[in-house]
Structure 1
Amino acid sequence: MAKSVQALLPLIAAIGFLSFLGFAMCDETLFIEGQVYCDTCRTAFVTKASNLIEGAKVALNCRDRAAGDLTYSLEGVTDSTGSYKLAVEGDHEEEICEIKLISSPREDCNETIPGLDNARVLVTSNNGISELSRFVNSLGFLKKEPLPECHEILRGMGMVPAMIPTSVKEPSA
């Protein structure tokens, strides 16, 4: 009996290895997730007065590292929580991918800040991350005019007057 078990061990090991190899080689869908907000204080960062935008359009664009040619593109729209979740086909390990703001449905909050309207994201399973979602920093549109309470909000965050953007007016006494 012991010899028959010993003879089966290599077979069991081979089956285990092949099943692991099959699992590792499967083509899993990656998800790119993030949120889009309205920067109501025009500070280029989220404050307690910021709010999330439903119906904002974003795009994932991947480009060839060498030539810069577009290799993959996908668009999405934020839901009622200002969140988007894009299902990406394929692995884009050798490409530079980024999420970019496309448009906001809000007329009062649709201005972008060049350089802050996009964020890079790694779109590959070959990077040691087992999670299938890749989370992107929140991206925001600027409100046309900052809210009246922004000056106090920023002071409450410890910002001294010289640090507060000039577009945020101090309330009149």
Structure 2
Amino acid sequence: MAKTLSTVVALIATAALCFSTLVGVAQAAEEKLVVDGKVYCDTCRVKFETSLSEAVEGAGVKLICRDRESQETKLEMEAETDESGHYKFDVEGDHAEEICEVHLVKSPREDCNEIDKGWNSARILLTTDVGVVDSIRHANPLGFMKKEALDRCAEVLQSLGFLPIN
């Protein structure tokens, strides 16, 4: 009987240790979120990606979180895109009471550096309190406008159904 009791106590202690470890891992995961996204050159000047869009390496982007009420900046981070036009922010803490957006800052390309003020940011939720289990938050792609649209754009837009076929 004593041996059975000690075995039960040992099993309960082991289960409690495992549970507390899982809770610790879950809490650590909740405290850190990753924001990733892409910056492209809008070669057709249509404000969305097409098959002619090009990744922009070395583009500057900024993550800004502001308090919903006071509009005070609570978080500000900058990143630069890699060769495939992707960027990443590692964000600590929960920002449920803030409005967070990724903004275009600068393009290294002289031929593709125009920022359309109406399309220069992507809003993103940075909280674990929205039912999303994954710690990665994917921002919508952001694009710099090429100075002049490529000649092949009409063909691509026709294939997408945006222009009538002649």
- Tell me if TM exceeds 0.5: yes
Deviations 1:30-69 (A, max 9, x none): 2211110011111111111110101110000000111111
- Greater shift, 65-74 or 23-32, is seen at 23-32
Give 2:138's match in structure 1, choosing from 135, 140, 146.
135
Matches of residues 55-134 of structure 1 in structure 2 within 5 Å?
A: 55-134=58-137
Shift of 1:7: 3.5
The amino acid of 1:70's aligned partner reads T
Q: Specify the SS of the correspondent of 1:8.
A: helix
Q: TM-score, normalised by structure 2?
A: 0.87
Give 2:148's match in structure 1, choosing from 135, 140, 145.
145
The aligned counterpart of 2:38 is: 35
Corresponding residue pairs, total: 162
Q: TM-score, normalised by structure 1?
A: 0.84
- Greater shift, 98-107 or 116-125, is seen at 116-125
Shift of 1:11: 2.8
Alpha-carbon distance in 1 for matches of 2:24, 2:89: 25
The aligned counterpart of 2:23 is: 21
Alpha-carbon distance in 2 for matches of 1:158, 1:13: 59
Contact between 2:154 and 2:163, CA under 8 Å: does it hold in 1?
A: no
The aligned counterpart of 2:163 is: 160
- Greater shift, 109-118 or 87-96, is seen at 87-96
Shift of 1:8: 3.5
Give the superposed CA RMSD.
1.9
The amino acid of 2:59's aligned partner reads A
5+ residue gaps, structure 1: 162-169
Shift of 1:9: 4.2
5+ residue gaps, structure 2: none
Higher share of residues assigned helix: 2
Identity %: 46
Q: Specify the SS of the correspondent of 1:84.
A: strand
Contact between 2:59 and 2:105, CA under 8 Å: does it hold in 1?
A: yes
Give 1:12's match in structure 2, choosing from 11, 14, 33.
14
